[in-house]
Amino acid sequence: MDVQHRPRASTESSERHSYARVPGRWLLLARVGWVAVAGLALALFIASLPASFARSATVCHTAGCTSDQLTPAAVPHLYALGLSLDFFAWYMLVLKCLFVLVFAAVGLVIFWRKAADRTALVAAFTFLTFPLTFTNVPNALPAVWWLPAQIMDWLGSIGMTLLLCVFPDGRFVPSFTRWLWAGSLSAYVVQVFFFPALPPGGIPLFLLVMSLVAVQIYRYVRVSTPVQRQQTKWVVLGVAVGFVGFLITLGLSISFPDLSSTDTLLYVISSGFAFLSNLLIPLSFGLALLRYRLWDVDVLINRTMVYGSLTALLALVYFGFVIGLQSLVRLVTGQVSQSPVVIVASTLALVALFQPLRSRLQAIIDRRFYRQKYDAAKTLAAFSATLRQETDLEQLREQLRVVVQETMEPAQVSLWLRPPEHDGTPLTPWRATPPVSSAGR
């Protein structure tokens, strides 16, 4: 069978020209600027390490404690775990170093491979400066470093906004996004120089994030090419996981404002989760901009949706079983303490439900979000059943052509039939079915 796909020369050519490039006369200046920013960012981060370690190793006795400090009430819980303040300080320092190094490494690889791409260049600058803002490096530096630290903080704050405005092709689409970015830049400058006491974020930040999300949705639906849509999927996946990690940490801090004082172990774990989940943001941008295994994201998203939903459902079922069976045991026996039988029965129920729930969720998600794949799988399954029953070669030939046409959608399909082995009769030439063109479909 000869399957010829649609020609892609024009598509590949349009893909190459759909990304904004850095003009040659500016490329050398951009490279020199990136090296200078990288050196300054590294120097600032190294200079902040002693003060950052000392802050984490010191108990906070004021109301304005930072996230890398423990309160006096938390120290006994830390000692009860067999840990010390120095361990906590080293733990926070390692998390910060890992965070900064991963961002910087991804920025270096993007800069090395894609410096002529305007979006990649913005990402390379952003990934050097944004982690300094996230890890609160400017506040751990002495006054002599104020100006360069403020510059890095400024670049980190506006760089991520600019990256989301021009991703993935390096252009402001729609055109009003350039004013959106200019407005966020102006608001940041006004706050830093005129209202430094005001806390960052709030409603303006929420509106900015929602606007950027709407811009990316518009790009995906109306503007993006197939390759750019795959790039967007990678970034959305990474940002979504990082945002979920942030929401979990934020929810814990809101629900348990004294979390570090009441459960130090959970506080340490949540801090690490907040840092590590956000590492998926630069990694997803790196995969998208370098276009490495772009189409694997569909499988990854599918698995994330299936097993994420499965985990949530099994957790609900487990707690429902535990609460329900415990209430039943209490009603029958009057026993107040938790029975081991309840735990064992709930666990067995989860084991029994795992595979049926997973199969059901996979079918629902494929049917709802991956309709083309779902229809192709059904078509192939039906054809496999037909192969066991069909004896008419002409009917089988036509069905085979239909299956290939519906599942692969090629430009042409040609089926060549081999003649039977030589049995003493004259050999007949191979027969070729007329090619089926998709132009007339």
DSSP 247-314: HHHHHHHHH-TTHHHH-HHHHHHHHHHHHHHHTHHHHHHHHHHHT-STTHHHHHHHHHHHHHHHHHHH
Taking only the tens place, the pLDDT of each residue in 250-272 is 666 666 666 655 566 677 777 78
Q: What sign does the CA torsion over 221, 223, 226, 227 have?
A: negative
- CA 302 to CA 369: how far, in whole Å? 9
Q: What burial class does residue 392 get, using C-beta atoms within 10 Å of its C-beta: 0-12 exposed, 13-18 middle, 19+ buried?
A: exposed
Taking only the tens place, the pLDDT of each residue in 148-177 is 887 888 788 788 888 888 888 888 888 888
Angle between helices 264-278 and 85-114 (to 10 degrees): 10
170 is written with which tokens?
Answer: 């390096």
**pLDDT range class, residue 102, cuts 50, 70, 90:** very high
**pLDDT range class, residue 17, cuts 50, 70, 90:** low
In terms of DSSP bridges, do strands 436-437 and 431-432 run parallel, antiparallel, or are they unpaired?
Answer: unpaired
pLDDT recorded at residue 370: 60
Residue with tokens 């670049």: 155
pLDDT recorded at residue 6: 45
How far is CA 210 from each of CA 49, 150, 206, 207, 217, rounded to the nearest angstrom? 35, 26, 6, 5, 11
Average pLDDT of the segment spanning 180-195: 73
Compute the mean pLDDT over every residue in the chain, rounded to the nearest whole number.
75
pLDDT recorded at residue 411: 61
What are the residues facing 432 on neighbouring strands?
416
Instruction: Say if CB 349 and CB 377 are below 8 A apart.
Output: no
Average pLDDT of the segment spanning 133-147: 79
Taking only the tens place, the pLDDT of each residue in 312-365 is 788 888 778 777 777 777 777 766 556 677 777 777 887 888 888 888 887 777
Residue 437, φ and ψ in degrees, nearest 5:
-100, 145
Task: Report the range of poorest mean pLDDT among 110-119, 182-191, 210-219, 411-420.
Answer: 411-420
Q: What sign does the CA torsion over 200, 202, 203, 208 have?
A: positive
Task: Report the range of poorest mean pLDDT among 70-79, 328-337, 415-424.
Answer: 415-424
